[in-house]
Amino acid sequence: MNASSLKLPLFYIVISLVLLLLYQAKILNPFLNITQMVTVPIQYAAFSFRDGIEDQFSVLTFWRSGESRIRQLEQRNAELTAKAAQVEGLERENQELKNQLGSKALPVTELIPVAIVGFDHDLVIGAGSNQGVKVGQAVIYLDNLVGKVNRVEPRVSFVQLPNDGSAKIPCKIKLVRCISSGQFNSTILLDRVTQTEEVVSGDIVQTSGQEGLFPPNLVIGKVGKILSTETDLFVQAQIEPVIDYSKLTTVFLLP
Amino acid sequence: MLPYYCASVLAVFLLGMSHLLFWPMLPVAWGAARQIKTSSIYLLAFVTGILHDLIWSKPIGAGAIFLVLLCVLTVFLQKRFKSQNRIFLLVLVLGQVGYIVLSQIGFI
């Protein structure tokens, strides 16, 4: 391959680099504002289509794991039913105490539902700066933490998930403080728990609310396999998210 | 020829199904296999890359850089291999693998 044959690809690469720089400097935002009117619906349709296709293929693998999964879910259902009854009793008791003390209920935060239009390195949601989305906003699903907005475009935003390599979230297990850190977009690691604290598989990991990154008590996941040994300084374990991020279709933005 | 193309596309589609983004490589692979003019392949790659970036909300220009570089590799492959089928499959597979790697590190 001689030098003259490389002129053309170099020309296109230079143009692409210029576009990339303009994009990073947000100079292309007015242009994106117009194009995303067309591309966001296409992206959403393609994302839904992909989900449909994956569901078709999941039927082929279901026979292997299906039976044990159904058994686990039945057991979990029974546990949750018992817990729900307990919670109902506690709620009633709590309300009675509040009535006696004359305290008012805490204000309920308004959640903003947003559709997911793509999932790759980040979760792409179908709302951007035009809809008032800001970098740093927390994204949740039910009481589970989905992530935080780390990039905003006019009509879409990108959500950094807890398993992202640069995600570090202050967390807690009951009263024990910890740090959850993402690993290569695949797993979440529980760290910074001293060996004197007791951490067992199945414990719920929640946001602690420290540093003001996220509101407290959002579920990050459950403690999975313990990775550290007794001689290590800190307890290290895997965190298994309760929700499958790739299966979400709608999430909620905290104002 | 056509059944071979379809089988190749299906195989590569299954390889990277979790991404469903295999399509940007298709025009380049097709252009290489049909032995269209080199300048046209580069233009095709650039336009497809920009379209890809717009549709998937990626940094504008990143997909174009990737596809133009894939084209450089394609032109090299065209000189090495005479079999159009082989070029088509190679470009698809290399493109898909490269794409998955780059998307995992967040470049595209």
The more confident residue out of B39 and B103 is B39
Q: Which of A16, A39, A152 to mutate to test the interface with B (most CBs of B within 10 A)?
A: A16
What does the pLDDT average to over A2-8?
75
* Complex ipTM: 0.85
Enter the pTM of the model: 0.75
Q: What is the CA B56 to chain-centroid distance, rounded?
A: 16
Across the interface, whether the CB atoms of B72 and A9 are under 8 A apart is answered yes
Where is average pLDDT lowest: A63-72, A180-189, B49-58? A63-72
Most confident range, picked from A61-65, A94-98, A193-197, A200-204? A200-204
Q: Give the pLDDT confidence score for residue B61 in this predicted structure.
A: 92
Across the interface, whether the CB atoms of B57 and A57 are under 8 A apart is answered no
What does the pLDDT average to over B76-99?
81
* Minimal CA separation from B19 to chain A, in Å: 7
Q: Give the pLDDT confidence score for residue A230 in this predicted structure.
A: 79
Rounded-to-integer distance, Cα A68 and Cα A230, Å: 32
Q: A106: pLDDT confidence band, cut at 50, 70 and 90? A: very low
| A22: chain B residues, CB-CB within 8 Å | 60
DSSP 8-class letter at A243: S
Q: Which of A202, A205, A196, A187 minimizes the C-alpha distance to A235?
A: A196
CA closest to B20 among chain A residues: A50
User: What are the tens digits of pLDDT across the range A192-218?
Assistant: 888 888 888 888 899 988 877 888 888
User: What are the tens digits of pLDDT across the range B26-40?
Assistant: 888 888 777 788 888
Q: Give the pLDDT confidence score for residue A60 in this predicted structure.
A: 57
Nearest 5°: phi and psi at A16?
-65, -40
Count of C-beta atoms within a 10 Å radius of residue A76:
10
Is 70 exceeded by the pLDDT of residue A147?
A: yes
Full DSSP string of A170-219: EEEETTEEEEEEEETTTEEEEEEEETTS---TTPEEEE--GGGSS-TT-E
Query: What residue type is A251 in one-letter code?
Result: V
Across the interface, whether the CB atoms of B55 and A46 are under 8 A apart is answered yes
CA closest to B61 among chain A residues: A16
Where is average pLDDT lowest: A10-14, A237-241, B25-29? B25-29
Full DSSP string of chain B: -HHHHHHHHHHHHHHTTTT---TTHHHHHHHHHTT--HHHHHHHHHHHHHHHHHHTTPPTTHHHHHHHHHHHHHHHHHHH---HHHHHHHHHHHHHHHHHHHHHTT--
- Partner residue opposite B54 with nearest CB, options A8, A18, A39: A39
Q: Which of A154, A206, A115, A205 minimizes the C-alpha distance to A33?
A: A154
User: What are the tens digits of pLDDT across the range B44-82?
Assistant: 899 999 998 888 888 899 999 999 998 888 888 888 887
The more confident residue out of A157 and B28 is A157
Rounded-to-integer distance, Cα A87 and Cα A65, Å: 32
Q: A58: pLDDT confidence band, cut at 50, 70 and 90? A: low
- Partner residue opposite A23 with nearest CB, options B19, B60, B75: B60
Are the beta carbons of B76 and A43 closer than 8 angstroms? no
Q: What is the CA A63 to chain-centroid distance, rounded?
A: 29
Is 80 exceeded by the pLDDT of residue A81?
A: no
